[in-house]
Chains A and B, each alone.
Chain A
Amino acid sequence: MKPRQLKPSRLNPSPPARALSVQISASMEEVESLCLRIRGFLENGNPSLVSFPVELLARECLNNAVLHGSRSDAGKKIELRLWVGRVWVRLQVSDEGQGFDWRKPRSEGADTGSDATSGRGLLLYAAYAHRVQFNRIGNRITLWIPKKKQTEKSQSPKNQSGKEG
């Protein structure tokens, strides 16, 4: 399915109302600590509908960056950037790994309702993000998450990948 295109002015929350930029070492403990910081940043004493999906997607991106991008090498760095605009939250995670070929269909991913114990990251992106974009080599991912309440979306993952311009 072709990803829905949005006008650049709507996708880029400019000027950002709020932003967070953090660099961590590639370890699960640092991911946990950063995710709690993201939760506090998003809620800021006022829990919002967007807090859960943004934290969930941040966790998925960060976990992938640790396990696959950095191969759990705590000497490597991972960078997270978060922009909270009026309509969108834009989440970007990059690592120092070699990336991956996001153009190639992956066969090991779980389908919804399956007994597979891993491989649900892409399903979560499809369920909660409006758009997913990788850089050319695949070591940086950017997601756009709508701030309005999520409605029921497709049960199957959409091909939302696209090269950064």
Chain B
Amino acid sequence: MPAFVIEQNGQQGSVRLTGDLTAVLIPELQAGLKELLNKGATELEFDLASTAMLDSSGMGLLIAAANSLSLSGGKMRVTNVRPEIFRLLQSMRLTSRLNVNGPAK
């Protein structure tokens, strides 16, 4: 199974993680995101429903994506976040910056 699935429909793009968002995944995911943004995606959703762990490298990638999108007038959101990850992003004061939906039940 791939570690993530990227889909694009015009300006809308989505990244569905099939596992954890951690340092080992960053180079491959960065390349995929760069391609997505180069193809004109300006609205991006990260679906973390299957993500049990997010480390500081994963947070860095999400922030970099948000920074890139805000420079081009786009926006992103992070959805289906597990409670532990939501609390982690809260403690780093990133839930607003990354437009994180409340924790998945």
Task: List chain A positions with a Cβ less than 8 A from chain B.
Answer: 28-29, 31-32, 35, 39, 52, 55-56, 59-60, 63, 112-113, 115-118, 120-121, 123-124, 127, 150, 152-153, 155
CA distance A46 to B88 in the complex (A): 22
In the assembled complex, the Cα of A32 lies from the Cα of B28 at a distance in Å of: 15
Q: Hey, which chain A residues are within 8 Å of B67, CB to CB?
A: 115, 117
Residues of the A chain whose Cβ atoms lie less than 8 Å from the Cβ of B57? 63, 118
Q: Is the CB of B91 within 8 A of A120?
A: no
- Residues of B62-102 at the interface with A, using a CB-CB cut-off of 8 Å, are 63-64, 66-67, 84, 87-88, 91-94, 97
- The interface of chain B, by Cβ under 8 A from chain A, is 22-24, 53, 55-57, 59-61, 63-64, 66-67, 84, 87-88, 91-94, 97
| A153–B87 CA distance with the chains assembled, in angstroms | 11
Alpha-carbon gap, A143 to B88, bound state (A): 18
Majority SS at the chain B contact face: helix
Q: How far is the CA of A123 from the CA of B56 in the complex (A)?
A: 10
Q: Is the CB of A118 within 8 A of B56?
A: yes
Tell me the bound Cα distance from A124 to B59 in angstroms. Answer: 11
| CB <8 Å contact, B53 and A55 | yes
Known contacts A28-B24, A55-B53, A113 near B93 by CB under 8 Å: yes
A112 in contact with B93 (CB, 8 Å): yes
The interface residues of chain B lying within 8 Å CB-to-CB of A55 are: 53
A60-B55, A60-B56 given; 20 more Cβ-contact pairs under 8 Å: A28-B23, A32-B24, A35-B53, A52-B84, A56-B53, A56-B88, A59-B22, A63-B56, A63-B57, A112-B91, A113-B97, A115-B63, A116-B63, A118-B57, A120-B60, A120-B92, A127-B88, A127-B92, A153-B91, A155-B93
